[in-house]
Amino acid sequence: MKSLILIMISGALINNVVLNQFLGICSFLGVSKQMKASASLGVAVIFVLTIASAVASILYDLVLAPLGLDFMKTIVFILVIAALVQIVEMFLKKTSPAVYKALGIFLPLITTNCAVLGVALTNVQNGYNFIECVLSGFGTAVGYTIAIVLLAGIRSRIQETDLPEPLRGAPIVMISAALMSIAFMGFSGLSF
């Protein structure tokens, strides 16, 4: 039990997917303009990452590992995750338009997010079993949500400040993200 909690906390804070492993930077910088949009994206990432980790884990344990096709895992994961998200998107669009409206537009956006693939691969590398994979995926996605919502909050503050001309736009966002990353380094000293 303790190890399961540890996996989640480590995924969310200590090995934060954006600020510590530098995965999923694209959407992290791109969609953090508004607090609402970034929160929606965060929820969508949680949704996709949890499902993708589960499916990738099943696929690896039942198909790839027994056949000795470990080296093909990257390609298979890309294929399966992309298709999975598409199916989930279509399913949501038809069955619950409300949920689709809230996060559906972010689903195709994160299909190709390297964070999703990265977590699936890391899980396999760490030799996690099914439950550990799901929890790790969930924890990592929560970490992503924390990071992007925090950055969106910072950016909304930055917008109201009088910045020197050269820093406006992308540069100050990069600097903010870098400072956040340094702050999150502090979690690496966390011990249980």
Partner 1 sequence: MSTVIITAVVITLVGAVVGVGLVYTGKKFHVDVDQREVDVRACLPGNNCGACGFAGCDAMAAAIVAGDAPTNGCPVGGQSVADKISDVMGVAAGAAEKRVAFVRCKGNCNVTKNQANYIGIQDCRSATLSGISITSCDFGCLGLGSCVNVCPEHAISVVDGVAVVNRDKCIGCGLCTKACPKGLIDLIPVNNYVAVQCSNKDRGPQVKKVCTAGCIGCMLCTKQCEFDAIHVVNNLAYIDYSKCTQCGKCAEKCPAKVITLPHVSAEV
User: Which residues of the chain form contacts with partner 1 (CB under 8 A)?
Assistant: 27, 30-31, 33-34, 37, 40-41, 59, 63-64, 67-69, 72, 75-76, 79-80, 83, 86-87, 90-91, 93-95, 105-106, 108-109
Nearer to partner 1, 2 or 94 (CB): 94
The answer to whether the Cα torsion of 75, 76, 81, 86 is positive or negative is positive
Instruction: Report the nearest approach of partner 1 to the CB of residue 7 (Å).
Output: 27
HSE-CB of 105 using CA atoms within 13 angstroms: 8
Instruction: Report the nearest approach of partner 1 to the CB of residue 98 (Å).
Output: 14
Nearer to partner 1, 12 or 116 (CB): 116
Q: Which burial class, exposed, middle or buried, applies to 102 when counting CB atoms under 10 A from its CB (0-12, 13-18, 19+)?
A: middle
Q: Is 103:40 a contact under the CB 8 Å cutoff? A: yes
DSSP assignment of 113-140 equals: -HHHHHHHHHHHHTT--HHHHHHHHHHH
Instruction: Report the nearest approach of partner 1 to the CB of residue 50 (Å).
Output: 19
Nearer to partner 1, 9 or 37 (CB): 37
Cβ-proximal residues to 37 (8 Å cutoff; 6+ apart), any chain = 31, 152
Instruction: Report the nearest approach of partner 1 to the CB of residue 137 (Å).
Output: 20
CA distance 88 to 85: 5
Nearer to partner 1, 7 or 31 (CB): 31
Nearer to partner 1, 97 or 186 (CB): 97
Instruction: Report the nearest approach of partner 1 to the CB of residue 31 (Å).
Output: 5
